Structure 1
């Protein structure tokens, strides 16, 4: 079963390693170097792998927890796996209480990362099925979020969605937006 993942980390080497670990047959992986605009990037994804610290020297996990909260508001069914180098039991428990699906410490074992993300992807799909969302409804919601995040800029919205402008316009018409 192939999944669509978003990986968010400020370290290009982490992005590359996680992409290599998760990009199996049929899988779709996109990456972001910061949590800015991740709500739109996460639209339609099966799971998000989100770092907890983005500022130089940060160890509190605040940025990751903020990103988690924003993702849960944008798409409550979406599973988010948090990761950090500076983790402890307290931080992991806090993340899980705030809605994280799982918590991974860097450096990770590839098999553990693959298992956590596959489990997260399955959880998202199960919650969406229970919520009764069709693929068209998910796509429509993703387009609305991308347009909102881009301030109505069609070029930026298309980029956030990984589409060309003409493809975005076709989808807007199909969804009556």
Structure 2
């Protein structure tokens, strides 16, 4: 029998939280937060095996920007934590942006429970591999660092290069090398 996984869930809809807890019963223990602002800066993400993250936290939000911001926050705290995005308002563009920012998967609500369970299993395995270093070669670490620096600098090469301690030409070479 597989050990019980620990999942961080950030979701504002109580009914969705309950449905996820029921779907993952026996597979994972779910710790839910209604608002990403409620996440304490002292919360240890290393105690979680994966995260499930809503894209919008208010009924009037539909563009996913709040969820994308939370991805950035979670990735800056624990780059190894696999994040599965959840949303009703899905689209290719928002899914691609979520994946670029570091989400490992994207599920539309309503989901199929077997698909949710499988996404959680894959995400927890990915987190474990990344934390063990098996998935993070030196090349992967460099690529990830460049992607994070570019995201934080909002695509500004000069700022990203400065944050990485590189010259602009050196950063351009690495971007080309990694196909970014």
- 1:71 alignment partner, one of 70, 74, 79: 74
Q: Does the 8 Å contact 2:45/2:77 carry over to 1?
A: no
Structure 1 position 42, deviation (Å): 3.5
Alignment of 1:14-33 (within 5 A): 14-24=16-26, 27-33=28-34
Where 2:51 maps in the other structure, the secondary structure is: strand
- 2:121 alignment partner, one of 118, 123, 139: 118
Q: Does the 8 Å contact 2:83/2:123 carry over to 1?
A: yes
Alignment of 1:104-143 (within 5 A): 104-130=107-133
Give me the CA root mean square deviation: 1.5
Consecutive aligned runs of 4 or more in structure 1 exceeding 4 Å deviation = none
The structure showing larger relative contact order (alpha-carbon pairs under 8 Å, at least 6 residues apart) is 1
Where 1:111 maps in the other structure, the secondary structure is: helix
Structure 1 position 55, deviation (Å): 2.0
Map Cα deviations across residues 32-74 of structure 1 (whole Å, 9 max, x no partner): 1111243626341000000000123110101100111000000
Residues in 1 aligned to 2:37 and 2:18: alpha-carbon distance in whole angstroms:
19
Q: Does the 8 Å contact 1:68/1:80 carry over to 2?
A: yes
Larger Rg: 2
Map Cα deviations across residues 53-97 of structure 1 (whole Å, 9 max, x no partner): 012311010110011100000000000101100011111111111
Q: Does the 8 Å contact 2:49/2:128 carry over to 1?
A: yes
TM-score normalised by length of structure 1: 0.69
1:93 matched residue in structure 2: 96
Residues in 2 aligned to 1:41 and 1:86: alpha-carbon distance in whole angstroms:
30
Where 2:127 maps in the other structure, the secondary structure is: helix
Unmatched runs of 5 consecutive residues or more in structure 1 = 132-177
Where 2:124 maps in the other structure, the secondary structure is: helix
2:154 matched residue in structure 1: none
Residues in 2 aligned to 1:32 and 1:42: alpha-carbon distance in whole angstroms:
13
